[in-house]
Amino acid sequence: MLDPVVRALVVKNFKSFAGQSVELDNPCFLVGRNGAGKSNFVEAFGLLADLTRQPLGAVIEAHGGFSSISYRSHRRQRLRNVGLRIEMGALGQGVTHASYALELRAVKGYSVEVVRERCIVDRDGSRLFFDRDGGFHANIDGLEPAVDRRALVLPLVAGDERLAPVAETLSRFRLVSIRPEALRQLQDPDGGARLLRDGRNAASVLREILDDGRSRERLEQLLGSIVAGTTRVRPKKHGNKLGIEFQQLTGEKREVKFEAYNMSDGTLRVLGILIGVFQPERPSVLLVEEPESTIHAGAIGGVMDALRHAARQCQLVVTTHSPQVLDTEWIDERSIRMVEWRDGQTRIGSVSDATKRILREHIEGAGELLVAGALDAEPLFEGGTQWREPPLFPDL
């Protein structure tokens, strides 16, 4: 597996998180009950990715408005400032470490403004930074962006080669939460470089994948191992729209073609996940939500083979509550994070020392422990230390 690009994510007053630093590995499987906050953690990555590509106000509106992303322990409580800080490892181009942090607040009249923003890049033995805290401060020659409290600085300076690795890494966070109905419908074509979260441009991305012989072969091999009888899948033109067509072997060894509207939810979700894994613009972090959903238990092994392939190409983060997923042999104690919701907030932590020993010594698998209610986390609420609120902007 590749070394993780993202070492840690600090969330403060974001959705169901009051404040916590979550350390990540590759792969990383977030395990918790429905409603524990797994998707909220994934959403933080989506927000950061969107903020590098679109105006701040438009992004917040697309995410439901500031009231939807700000943590409140009760409905009448005022909106709190939202903060995120991401710690990254080696990004190439001489970058050995980087971090990016932002704090936002709600403002009447234009909905949201930037309280503070900071980017740090350790490159070729020196530290470069900009820090926007009231004024704008930087030790990067020639960096003099126009600062507007309604806009972030990083997207404005993303073309600067000294900061480009950070902006590029954030922009390549890819979330996969496939909505089968989006694959059944005819789709508007686009460039097909990256898969949209729900799969509504899957036909365009599939078209680009099929132009790469190795990716096409691997995708169809995995699809055939998961969906019995499937020999190929292709985008199909319908006027100025695109659909998806499957080819399958019948009992008489004849090949029959079916369009996506004839296929089951499970088949379409499998295809969407595979397209996410093989999308042409390689993700820096690929986040897949509940890959087991609507998929037959006998097909989980093939889906996990695809995710293992992904973890060799990029950092992989998966949400799940499936014992079968967790019992996959290449998942170990370092890969599991427990997600708990209590007293109105979400916290995430590693498994307990006792659980680590059981998994390390192969006494029982993680899935078996989950079924038995014995997949325990380190203390997150009572007596724990890892949940203590970290600073968004530590000393340089």
Q: Which two tokens stand for residue 238?
A: 């319908």
pLDDT over 90 for what percent of the chain?
72
The 10s digit of each residue's pLDDT in 202-225 is: 999 999 999 988 999 999 999 998
The 10s digit of each residue's pLDDT in 2-11 is: 889 999 999 9
Of 270, 281, 265, 284, residue with least CA distance to 233: 270
Q: Which two tokens stand for residue 331?
A: 């998942």
Does position 353 have pLDDT exceeding 60, yes or no? yes
Q: Which amino acid, residue 55?
A: P
Cβ(45)–Cβ(287) under 8 Å? yes
* Total count of domains within the chain: 1
**Domain presence at residue 289:** no
Q: Helices (H), strands (E): how many in the chain?
A: 12, 16
Of 368, 366, 367, residue with least CA distance to 355: 366
Does position 73 have pLDDT exceeding 80, yes or no? no
Q: How confident is the model at residue 75 (pLDDT cuts 50, 70, 90)?
A: low
Instruction: Give CA separation, 256 vs 64, 218, 227, 330, 350, in Å.
Output: 43, 21, 14, 36, 48
Residues pairing with 121 in the sheet:
98, 128
Q: Which two tokens stand for residue 210?
A: 């099929």
**Domain presence at residue 233:** yes
Q: Which amino acid, residue 201?
A: N
**Domain presence at residue 37:** no
Q: Is the peptide bond before 27 cis (omega within 30 degrees of 0)?
A: yes
Which residues of 78-146 form beta strands (DSSP E)? 82-88, 95-107, 111-123, 126-133, 135-138
Does position 63 have pLDDT exceeding 70, yes or no? yes
CA distance 76 to 95: 44
Q: Is 254 helix (H, G, I), strand (E, B) or coil?
A: coil
**Positive or negative, the Cα torsion across 123, 127, 131, 137?**
negative
Does position 92 have pLDDT exceeding 90, yes or no? no
Strands 17-23 and 6-14: what pairing?
A: antiparallel
CA distance 280 to 289: 20
CA distance 154 to 169: 12
Of 152, 137, 128, 143, residue with least CA distance to 50: 152
**Domain presence at residue 204:** yes
**Domain presence at residue 219:** yes
The 10s digit of each residue's pLDDT in 25-62 is: 999 999 998 899 999 999 999 999 999 999 999 999 99
**Domain presence at residue 199:** yes
The residues, ordered by sequence, that sit 6+ positions from 240 with a Cβ below 8 Å of its Cβ are 188, 189
**Domain presence at residue 303:** no
**Domain presence at residue 230:** yes
The 10s digit of each residue's pLDDT in 218-259 is: 999 999 988 888 889 999 999 999 999 999 887 677 888 999
The 10s digit of each residue's pLDDT in 131-181 is: 999 889 999 998 888 899 999 999 999 999 999 999 999 999 999 999 999
Cβ(19)–Cβ(389) under 8 Å? yes
CA distance 235 to 301: 26
Does position 385 have pLDDT exceeding 50, yes or no? no
Cβ(20)–Cβ(345) under 8 Å? no
Q: Which two tokens stand for residue 316?
A: 């992989």
Q: Is 258 helix (H, G, I), strand (E, B) or coil?
A: strand
Q: What is the pTM of this model?
A: 0.93
Q: Give me the domain span that covers residue 218.
A: 173-281
Tell me which residue has tokens 């019995």.
Answer: 228
Residues pairing with 288 in the sheet:
176, 318
Q: Which amino acid, residue 329?
A: E
pLDDT recorded at residue 74: 65
CA distance 36 to 30: 10
Of 339, 344, 326, residue with least CA distance to 380: 339
